[in-house]
Structure 1
């Protein structure tokens, strides 16, 4: 039986998956370089919307599968971030504002007519993963948040520079999410390092984060193949 990694080795293995994150995807690089058409940006927003809609549910699944009340209480904040404390608030509402800012018809966003099949399969697979796997693996999958704050900040700067037609109020989601995800990443990493103690548990956590990176990459594959939307 393999010996478990030390805490530092385990953390390094998780952080070492950064090259698999979707910031290196050709579509993402084109998006940040100013090379996307308005239709392609709307396609990204529409497909990412489908991902956004499952985040509160996948976080609720982690809570449901976790036996530790202190973790459930802390993780509940993620549900509230996306759903808001009331209608018209939270990350979902901010994403609707982004759709308006890129002139994507709201009815088209809500009825998911522009969601690519590849996106749907990838996102549904991620939700199923979090509902059926041990909570530690689902938490480890969320560790893409280790890599996301800098990317979101770079996205806002790049979009302001290259896509001046996007209305400023559309940036609310990223501006609100960046400081929250920084704290979430620190908490989640400590949680996974603490509760994944055996070599098998550590390997499962690494594979979970790898899977999540592949989910995000699959979304961009689908968006890139789809091209723009009207």
Structure 2
């Protein structure tokens, strides 16, 4: 079907444009490929865990920015659950706490992770840019940036299997972040897509949402580029 310039895409066309960005997702990044092939040493795994922590701990702040910018109470109510998911209902629960358990399982002290002294400048810059995007852009674009959830269920399951296979020294309790996330990320991603499709009603909004998702893919790739470069692989991407 053809459209006049500026006419909204159909919902099917909009969803297709979003899914077309799956090839830009970080599952294909050389750093992840080396991880899944069992080629990372303990130091590289620890650096990855410490830097990914910085991303994980910024997610509820990003979600809080979306709540602050959104004028729709029904969306705010829905989005609050994401903050609770990451922060938990107390200091011993939540996705961030589960990531700390993984960091400990690969040999990092909790204080070492929380101090953020191992966070690379490139990782900090990319993650901070993502938080700034959520604060400054319209809530719908910030929500759409999270549609990388559509691409992650397969990666999470694959990564968990490869970590168990290639890094058997990691204690099983360190994988709680992945086992818990695998159960929810599929339905969460589909719900998020429905929300974006429902509220992106103009062509300009639809295109802005696609650009927001592309930006998020770039942020994730930049995180791994920094890790890959630090590991001596030049940050090259295929």
Give how far 1:225 is off.
Answer: 1.3
Give how far 1:39 is off.
Answer: 0.8
What is the 5 A alignment of 1:132-143? 132-143=136-147
RMSD: 1.0
Q: Give SS of 2:222's match.
A: helix
Q: Partner residue of 1:173?
A: 177
Q: Which of 14, 21, 25 is the aligned partner of 2:25? A: 21
Contact 1:27–1:220 (CA<8 Å) still a contact in 2? yes
Give how far 1:105 is off.
Answer: 2.2
Matched, 1:95 2:102: no
Measure, in 2, the Cα distance between the counterparts of 1:109 and 1:137.
31
Measure, in 1, the Cα distance between the counterparts of 2:91 and 2:156.
25
Q: Partner residue of 2:236?
A: none
Q: Structure 1 length as normaliser, TM-score?
A: 0.97
Matched, 1:42 2:28: no
Matched, 1:197 2:201: yes
Matched, 1:108 2:112: yes
What is the 5 A alignment of 1:209-220? 209-220=213-224
Deviations 1:160-197 (A, max 9, x none): 00000111101000111112211210111011111111
Measure, in 2, the Cα distance between the counterparts of 1:168 and 1:179.
17
Give how far 1:227 is off.
Answer: 2.2
Deviations 1:67-118 (A, max 9, x none): 1111111111100000001111101110110011101122221111111100
Measure, in 1, the Cα distance between the counterparts of 2:136 and 2:179.
32
Q: Partner residue of 1:56?
A: 60
The runs of 5 or more residues in structure 1 that have no matched partner are none
The runs of 5 or more residues in structure 2 that have no matched partner are 233-238
Aligned residues: 228
Contact 1:43–1:227 (CA<8 Å) still a contact in 2? no
